[in-house]
Every structure is written in structure tokens, then in C-alpha cells.
Amino acid sequence: MNRYYITTAIDYVNGAPHIGHAYEKILTDVIARHYSQRCDDVYFLTGTDEHGIKIQKTAASQGITPKELCDMNAQKFKDAWKALDIDYTKFIRTTDDYHEVAVQHIFDKLLKQGDIYKHSYEGLYCSGCECFLNPKDLTEDGLCPDHLKKPEVVKEENYFFKLSKYKDAIIKHIKDHPDFILPEFRANEVLNQLEDIQDISVSRAKSNVQWGIDVLGDDEQSIYVWIDALSNYITALGYDENSDDFKKYWPCDVHVIGKDILKFHSIYWPAFLMALDLPLPKHIFAHGWITIDETKMSKSLGNVVSPTSVLENFNMEYPDAFRYYMATSAPCGRDGNYSDDDFKEKVNAHLANSMGNLLNRTLSMLVKYFDGEVKAEFKAENLLAKKALGTVQIVKNHFDNFELAEAGLEIISLVDATNKYVQDNAPWTLAKEEKMVECGQVLTNVLDVMCVIASLIYPYCPNIAKDMARQLSFDLSTKLDDLTADSIKVGKLISKEDIKPVFLRLDSELADKGSKKS
């Protein structure tokens, strides 16, 4: 593996980021950081979707221009991702000039080759979904199932894309590549949707939607959201100029998206790519939703949670605990839940009591019994570290299937096994019995495993992992395949004053009074 290209969905900027947006970005960042431990070149794309009727209406209601609204809210997303240590390579905005020009050229190419045609149409349009709905997909009350609002009847002359032309090819691709849509149970949903797929509108009349990218040669039409939004995955790489980045990174390794937009990514996007004669992404990973205290987020219920508010409420200097909790909150592709109580209980148990305390007490015993020095005779066969290297492979396999919660459980299982090893071998008893070589071997074995644990936990908790690596004198840039069972060097490792807790319990006095990042 020499390069890895990963993307998130681009977020619609008619409002500020909430915990659902953060969930996807954290998942993607954890995946990207993991693959940075396996290859030298990871490209991570995220951004904002900034055209359409909702932006137009929201801006008008606030008495500002659509661009002013987009500028204001796009910055809120950037600020939130910075606070959560989302380490993206590029942040694309669909109002970026290069993107708008590229989308116009894509649209024009498809029009000239006959994949786009003009057609009068009357249908049920949901502004929340930014798409026309089939009557059979509505609730019994005639509402959009996702937004629970009645779609409006829209009659326009628009440009349409020949989606039906690519139906059979998409079905074949899905069946021939069972890991194209993950988790695999989502593929059946898509195949069912493909049964009665119809051509789709790819423009809107400017009389209804002014805020959009102009169709070249047609002043009365704006390019409709899906060609605009989905194309960001290739325009960000310089598709229009056939740039080196585009040649290097396309096709994408994985699009990380919410299950509510799976249809657009697994049907519309492959069809657009087929029409452009481009290879399809290797994987589309559809994650579930995050509820709040087992209730779906809703402005009317007042339970929409800002991701940065969690950091502020718990006075956390670093976002690692929140990142770990969110990334491990649900099995692959299933829905998850956030609650303050569960958050505090889980991260205290896993990060403070188990992992952090294990490192702290092991280093403290090394200082107490050996003045922080690892002696040559402490180096012995380490079956526990060999088990740890086996865990590395298990974690890699989970990440290959985007099973982040499952990978997290494996890491904590390794922590638990190491804690059991300490209890079973009781280095404090060995010291009391003056079996100092055996005591040193036990402590060194544990510290070697802690190097592996620091490496594995890094994608979830980069700051905690760096603190662990510093106290272990371990090079955190070591690739996963280069990890050994013998990372701790012979010689002075640490002094008493350099031993620091890597994670304070959230309910501890020190954590409550901890300083925040400026």
C-alpha cells in the first residue's frame, strides 16, 4: 500500500455543526490516521456543500447574502474540526472557484455526449433531501420519511441525467464487488432501490433556485446539487486539469458517508463516474446515526449537541476522550448513542482506570525499584508482547472492514490482558522477595506491550498516545508492520518527575480544574 485516499461527505452549511457531523469526521480521521501507520501517503478530504434552496432561504431569513452565510458557517465547521484534531489534507467548499468551473465542464461534457437532456417535469420535491421523491417512498401521511415534511409539487423544465442507462452496469458492479458497499447488508437496500430507478433532475430553474452554479450556455438554469456536491471528490484533486494529484489518488479508497445519503453515493455517483469513463471508488462505507440519550436529534426537542460543547462541559484540554467514545460508540454501520453519563463512565474505565493507570503504575514501579532504569538482564522472551503483535493484525483486519468500534474493543482487551499479567505476576511481591531480575523482566515486558498499545490507540487518541510514547521513549512514527516485541531500550528510561497521568478521570478534582487549550 503506497497511498490512501479517504473522504467524508461534505456538510450542508445552513446551520452549525452538531455531534452527528462530528461523528463522521472523527470516524474518518481515525481511519486516516490508522492508514498513515501503514502507508506514507494519506489524502483526507472533507469540506462543505454550499449551494441550493435551503442556503438561499436561510440567508434571506437572516438578511444576509448566501455567500455571507456560507462563509460564516464554513468557518464554524473548520473551527469545530480543529478543536477535535481532525487532521484533513484539504477542505473543499463548493463555492470555490476551481470547483464551480470544473462542475460546469463536467455538466457540459455529459450534456454534449447525450447523457444529459432537457425535459419538462412535475414531481414531489423535498428541499431537506434536495431531491425529487417517488410517491411510494412517502409516509402514509404523504411526508418525506427523513424530514417528516410534505414535499412541494414542482413543475419545471430541467436538465435530466440518464441514470436508467447505467442501471444494469451499477447492479453488476455491486454484485461483482461485495465489498463495494459496506457494511454488506446495505447493498441489498441499494439493489432494491435500483429496481425502479428513473432518470434524475440535475438542474433547477433559476426562477426557483438562484443560488447555484450556472449551466454553461443556459442563463435560466442552475446546476442541481448532486452533480455539484458529488463531484467534489474529483474536483478537489484537480480532475478538470488532469492534475498529478488526480492521477495519483483516484480512484478513492473509501467514501465515508451517513446511511441517509447512501443512495446518492452508490447509485448517482457511480453512474456519473461511468458516464465520465472514470473508475469507481473502491468502497462506500455508510455509518449509522447518533442519537442523544436514545432520542433522535431535533431542533424542536432542543437536544442538538454541539461537539465542542462536550469538550467545554467536561473542561477537557484535548479531545481524545470524546474522539475515542464517538469512534467506538456503535458497531460497524449501526446507530450509536451519546449520553454524558455513558461518556464519562466509558472513558474513565477504558482510558483512565485501565490504560492510563497501567502505564502510570508500571513506570512508577520501575522508578521505585530500579531508579527508572531498564537493565540488560530485564530483556527476556515476552509472550505477552507477541500476543500484542497478534492484536495488531486483528486491528488491521477490523480497519480494512471499517470496524472501528470492534478494533477499539481489541485494543482495550489487550490492555485488560496486560493488567491481568501484572496482577498474576505481582512485581511488587517479586521485589519484596528480592527477586529483582524477575521483577524487572515483568515491568519491561509490560512496557514493551505499552509501546504497541500506544501505537494502536494513536488514531483514536493522538494526544494521549504521544504522551505515552514520550514516557516510553518510543517512536510513535513506527509503522504498524515494523512494531516489535522489544521496543523498550536498555538504559535510563524515566525519572519520577517525568511520570505524568496520560488521562485524568473526568470526575477527578485535577481533571475538573485542568487548563483548557487556548
In the set 18, 78, 255, 265, the catalytic residue is 18
Task: Identify the three-state secondary structure at position 276.
Answer: coil
| 76 catalytic per annotation | no
In the set 67, 119, 147, 248, the catalytic residue is 147
| 131 catalytic per annotation | no
| 126 catalytic per annotation | yes
In the set 70, 126, 131, 252, the catalytic residue is 126
The residues pairing with 255 across neighbouring beta strands, listed in sequence order, are: 7, 284
| 296 catalytic per annotation | yes
Residue 321 CB contacts under 8 Å (≥ 6 apart), including other chains: 314, 343, 347, 351, 461, 503, 506
| 144 catalytic per annotation | yes
CA distance 476 to 483: 10
In the set 21, 25, 99, 283, the catalytic residue is 21
Asked whether 252 and 160 are in contact (CB, 8 A), the reply is: no
In the set 70, 131, 144, 461, the catalytic residue is 144
The residues pairing with 47 across neighbouring beta strands, listed in sequence order, are: 92
In the set 25, 51, 78, 129, the catalytic residue is 129
Asked whether 283 and 179 are in contact (CB, 8 A), the reply is: yes
Asked whether 162 and 111 are in contact (CB, 8 A), the reply is: no
CA distance 231 to 86: 22
Instruction: Give, as one character, the DSSP assignment of residue 319.
Output: S
Burial code of 156-188, b = ≥16 C-beta within 10 A, e = fewer? bebbbbbbeebbeebbebbeeeeebbbbeebbe
In the set 177, 296, 500, 517, the catalytic residue is 296
Residue 39, sorted as left (phi over 0), alpha (psi -120 to 50) or beta, turns out to be: beta
Nearest to 28 by CA among 286, 406, 319: 286
| 119 catalytic per annotation | no
CA distance 479 to 462: 15
CA distance 449 to 384: 7
| 21 catalytic per annotation | yes
Query: For residue 169, which phi and psi values (nearest 5 degrees)?
Result: -65, -40
| 25 catalytic per annotation | no
CA distance 479 to 467: 18
Catalytic residues, by residue number, are 18, 21, 126, 129, 144, 147, 296, 299
